[in-house]
Amino acid sequence: MTNGKHQGFYFSFITVLSLLFVTVPFILALGFAGALARRAQFAPLRWFGLAYTSIVRGVPDIVFFLFALIAMDQGIEYIRHMVLCPEVTDPVRQGNDFIVCAKAKMPLSSAPEWAHKSYAFFQASVAFSVVFGAFAANTLYGALAAVPAAQLETGAAFGMTPRQTFRRIHLPQMWIYALPGLSNLWMIFIKATPLLFLLGIQDIVYWARELGGTKTGIFDYPHADWRLGYFLFLLVFYLFLTWISERIFTRITRRVSRGQATIGGAV
Amino acid sequence: MSCAETISGYALRSIGWGERLLPKTDFTLCDHAVLIGSGLIWNLYFAVFALGFGFFFAVLVAVARASDRPALRWPAQAFIFVIRGSPLFIQFFIAYETFVLIPKVAFDINLGFMEITAETRWLTKAWLGALIVLFLNTTAYTAQIFHGALLSVPKGDIEAADSIGMSPYRKFRRVIFPSMLRLAWASYTNEAIFLFHATTLVFFSSFPAWRQKGDALYYASYFADKTFNPFVPYPIIAVYFIIFTLILTAIFGLLNRRLNRHMRNVS
Q: Mind giving me the DSSP string for chain B?
A: --HHHHHHHHTTGGGT-S-SSPP-S---HHHHHHHHHHHHHHHHHHHHHHHHHHHHHHHHHHHHHT-S-HHHHHHHHHHHHHHHHS-HHHHHHHHHHHHHHHHHHHHHHSTT-HHHHHHHGGGGSHHHHHHHHHHHHHHHHHHHHHHHHHHTS-HHHHHHHHHTT--HHHHIIIIIHHHHHHHHHHHHHHHHHHHHHHGGGHHHHTSPPGGG---HHHHHHHHHHHHS-TTTHHHHHHHHHHHHHHHHHHHHHHHHHHHTTTSSS--
Q: Does A261 touch chain B (CB under 8 A)?
A: no
What are the domain boundaries of chain A?
A: 5-256
The pLDDT, as a whole number, for residue A222 is 59
Please give the pLDDT value at position B12.
Answer: 74
Pairwise CB contact (< 8 Å): B82 & A64: no
pLDDT by residue (tens digit) across B100-130?
A: 777 655 555 554 544 444 556 667 777 788 8
Task: Kindly report the number of other CB atoms within 10 A of residue A14's CB atom.
Answer: 9
- Is B265 within a domain? no
Of A99 and A170, more confident: A170
Is the minimum CB–CB distance between A244 and chain B shorter than 8 Å? no
pLDDT of residue A233: 84
Query: Between B84, B94, B238, which is nearest A235 by CB?
Result: B94
When pLDDT is cut at 50, 70 and 90, the band that residue B267 belongs to is: very low
Report which of residues A63 and A8 the model is more confident about. Answer: A63
B19, part of any domain:
no
CATH number of the CATH domain containing B227: 1.10.3720.10
Chain segment A122-151, per-residue pLDDT in tens: 888 888 898 899 889 988 988 888 888 888
Residue type, A84: L
Out of A60, A62, A70, closest to residue B230 by CB: A70
A180 confidence band (pLDDT: 50, 70, 90): confident
A61 at B interface, C-beta within 8 A: yes
Does a structural domain hold residue B172?
yes
Residue B264 lies in a domain: no
CB A26 within 8 A of CB A34: no
Query: pLDDT tens, B213-240?
Result: 778 888 888 888 777 778 888 888 888 9
Which of these ranges, A144-148, A185-189, A254-258, B249-253, has the smallest mean pLDDT?
A254-258
B17 within some domain: no
Tell me which of A12 and B165 has the higher pLDDT: B165
* Minimum Cα–Cα distance from B249: chain A residue: A58
pLDDT tens string B43-54: 999 999 999 999
pLDDT tens for each residue of A70-84: 888 888 887 877 777
Q: Name the least confident of A161-170, A257-266, B229-238.
A: A257-266
pLDDT at B135 over 90: yes
- Which residue range(s) make up the domain with B107? 3-10+26-259
Tell me the β-bridge partners of A94: A97
Average pLDDT over residues A228-253: 87
Could you tell me if A104 and A85 are in contact, meaning their C-beta atoms sit under 8 angstroms apart?
A: yes
B16 is a domain residue: no
Residue A266 has pLDDT above 60, yes or no: no
* Backbone φ/ψ region at B263: left (φ over 0), alpha (ψ -120 to 50), beta: beta
* Fold (topology level) of A5-256: MetI-like fold (1.10.3720)
Say what the pLDDT of residue A171 is.
86
> Which range is least confidently modeled, A76-85, B12-21, B154-163, B250-259?
B12-21
The count of domains in chain B is 1
Nearest CB neighbour to A96, from listed B226, B230, B231: B226
pLDDT of residue B59: 94
Q: Long-range contacts: A20-28, Cβ < 8 Å, 24+?
A: A20/A189, A20/A190, A20/A193, A22/A125, A23/A125, A23/A128, A23/A129, A23/A132, A26/A125, A26/A126, A26/A129, A26/A133, A27/A128, A27/A129, A27/A132, A27/A133, A27/A136, A27/A189, A28/A136
Mean pLDDT computed over every residue of chain B? 83
Contact flag B86-A238 (C-beta cutoff 8 Å) = yes
Contact B86 A191 (CB under 8 A): yes
Q: Tell which wins on pLDDT, B206 or A118.
A: A118
CB atoms < 10 A from the CB of A215, how many? 8
CB of A26 within 8 A of CB of A124? Answer: no
Stretch B205-220: mean pLDDT: 77
Mutate to test the interface with A, among B91, B234, B242, B245 (most CBs of A within 10 A): B234
